[in-house]
Amino acid sequence: MRAAASILVLAVLSMTGCVVSRKSDHFTCTTDSDCDPTSGRTCDRGYCVLQGTCPSPCTSCDLTNKTCKIDCTSTKPCGSIQCPVGYDCTIKCTGTGACSNIDCNPGTACDITCTSGMAACGAINCGPGECIVDCATPSTCGNVDCVTSCSCEVKCNNATCPTNSCPLQPAGLYCTQDGTAASPCAPNANALCDHCP
């Protein structure tokens, strides 16, 4: 009798292990706003699903659109930064020593702001994607290398510009404000200076 009861229990347990879990109508959605904002869920293919983890060093991100925000300050410095593979990065370095060297080569694009302190940013390698570097105050940016970028703009806002390596077009003109090597990079210098996909 006891053996038969044990077999029955095992049979019930094995059957419940094979039950298919159906998606709850409670989690159906059309947009992210249909999901409970406190749940950490976003709308993905009609259902509210848990958002994954942002890649390092993103402070916040959008995993669907592959965007990454990185916020660094002198009180919470980031050290050297590398934009994650395939991400469009927005990097803010505020205060002296907030960021060391910045490498955007693995990412698809970078928008970098360096402000409020000496050497807020170290050297910047833009890589092949679109790159915008805003050196808001004097001596906030290290050297900027965007020679391989599909479009590059370095804004100096009346501050002393760092040494720039800007794209050079086949016609021999640099993609700078006046076409010479010594000026800040500018994507609107000529028709060939902005060829991002």
Q: Where are the alpha helices (DSSP H) in 1-157?
A: 2-17
Greater pLDDT, 21 or 63 = 63
Q: Which of 113, 106, 108 is nearest to 88 (CA)?
A: 108
- 9 within some domain: no
Residue ranges making up the domain that contains 35 = 25-53
Of the ranges 5-9, 81-85, 193-197, which is most confident?
81-85
Token pair listed for 56: 């390092």
pLDDT band, very low/low/confident/very high, at 154 (cuts 50, 70, 90): very high
> First-to-last CA distance in the chain?
74
Greater pLDDT, 97 or 17 = 97
Q: What is the mean pLDDT of the chain?
A: 84
Residue whose token pair is 């805003």: 134
Calpha distance 68→26 (Å, rounded)? 30
- Predicted local distance difference test score (pLDDT) of residue 3: 53
| 143 and 170 together in one domain | yes
| 116 and 33 together in one domain | no
- 12 within some domain: no
Calpha distance 157→23 (Å, rounded)? 54
Greater pLDDT, 35 or 73 = 73
Calpha distance 156→159 (Å, rounded)? 5
| 102 and 85 together in one domain | yes
Residue whose token pair is 């991100």: 61
| 29 and 48 together in one domain | yes
Calpha distance 146→136 (Å, rounded)? 18
Torsion sign (Cα): 138, 144, 147, 152: negative
pLDDT band, very low/low/confident/very high, at 131 (cuts 50, 70, 90): very high
- Predicted local distance difference test score (pLDDT) of residue 19: 44
Greater pLDDT, 38 or 110 = 110
Count of domains for the chain? 2
| 45 and 73 together in one domain | no
- 140 within some domain: yes
Query: Model confidence over 15-58: pLDDT tens digits?
Result: 444 444 455 677 789 887 888 766 667 776 787 777 679 999 99
What residues have CB less than 8 Å from 86, skipping those under 6 apart? 66, 106, 107, 108
Token pair listed for 120: 């807020």
- Predicted local distance difference test score (pLDDT) of residue 177: 84
- Predicted local distance difference test score (pLDDT) of residue 10: 47
- Predicted local distance difference test score (pLDDT) of residue 48: 79
| 158 and 194 together in one domain | yes
Q: Where are the alpha helices (DSSP H) in the chain?
A: 2-17
